Amino acid sequence: MRLGIFGGTFDPIHNGHVRLAIEAAEALDLDRVVLEVAKQSPLKESCFASEEDRLQMVELAVEGEPGLAVGRFELSRPAPSYAVDTVEHYRKQSLDLWLLLGADSLMALDEWKDPDLLLEMCRLGVAERPGHVLKPESVSVMRRGRVDIFEMRQMDVSSTEIRERIADGRSIRGLVSDSVLRFIEEKRLYRRDREKFI
């Protein structure tokens, strides 16, 4: 099985995330993509929504999408989560592994834990992202032949933008799935304290 692992805080999951997973599966001929929900990114401030809410939103977003699944490995362990540990875990399911990420995350690869070991265990599937052109410093990694860049429909949306829109009382329809939109509205997520959402 050719398996893709797509990690994120998904705070909240949006259509750019879902398109990345679908287009990676098509471009890299993956049988399955697991959206692995991070407990807490080592490189980010704490999350805004709870683990349970972020997990539920990912479940709603991938419901009915063939080939997409939700990963709970990182949530089951103490924070912070490192990709190298997650990949090692998924090697029990498949040795044909791709870690999927947007171009902005590739830029930070050197700050990750054990990037060399990581690249021995999996390939990277990287999608270009609006505003994040792949820079020369990422080329050394690419030369090692462990990075597959794939084209995806450019979707200029981020979780930060969604949180800001909600805090400003603006619509996020079309940026997240209808089921995720309903969930956010019902639970009144990202509304509380304006300062926290930026």
Is residue 148 within the footprint of ligand ATP (CB under 6 A)? no
In eight-state DSSP terms, residue 34 is: E
Q: Is 129 in the site for ligand ATP (CB under 6 A)?
A: yes
User: Which stretch of DSSP H or E encloses residue 168?
Assistant: none
In the complex, least distance from residue 35 CB atom to ligand ATP, rounded to whole angstroms = 9
Q: Can you tell me which of 3, 5, 18, 20 binds ligand ATP, judged by CB under 6 A? A: 20
177 binding ligand ATP? (CB under 6 A): no
Q: Is the bond leading into 66 cis (omega within 30 degrees of zero)?
A: no
Q: 57 vs 127, which CB is nearer to ligand ATP?
A: 127
Stretch that binds ligand ATP, among 16-24, 55-63, 113-121, 171-179 (CB under 6 A): 16-24
**Please, what is the minimum distance in Å from the beta carbon of residue 127 to ligand ATP?**
5
180 in Cβ contact with 49 (< 8 Å): no
Stretch that binds ligand ATP, among 25-33, 83-91, 102-110, 183-191 (CB under 6 A): 102-110
165-170's contacts with Cβ under 8 Å and 24+ in sequence apart are 166/190, 166/191, 166/197, 167/191, 167/194, 167/197, 167/198
86 binds ligand ATP (CB under 6 A): no
Least spacing, CB of residue 166 vs ligand ATP, in Å: 13
Select from 3, 4, 5, 17 the one that contacts ligand ATP (CB under 6 A): 17
- Sequence-separated (6 or more) residues with CB below 8 Å from residue 118: 83, 84, 87, 99, 112
Which residue number, 100 or 121, has a Cβ lying nearer to ligand ATP? 100
| Spatial separation of the C-alpha atoms in residues 167 and 192, rounded to whole Å | 8
Q: What is the C-alpha to C-alpha distance for residues 23 and 38, in angstroms, rounded to an integer? A: 21
For 183, phi then psi, to 5°, come to -60, -45
Residues that bind ligand ATP (CB under 6 A): 8-11, 16-17, 20, 101-102, 104-105, 127, 129, 155, 157-160
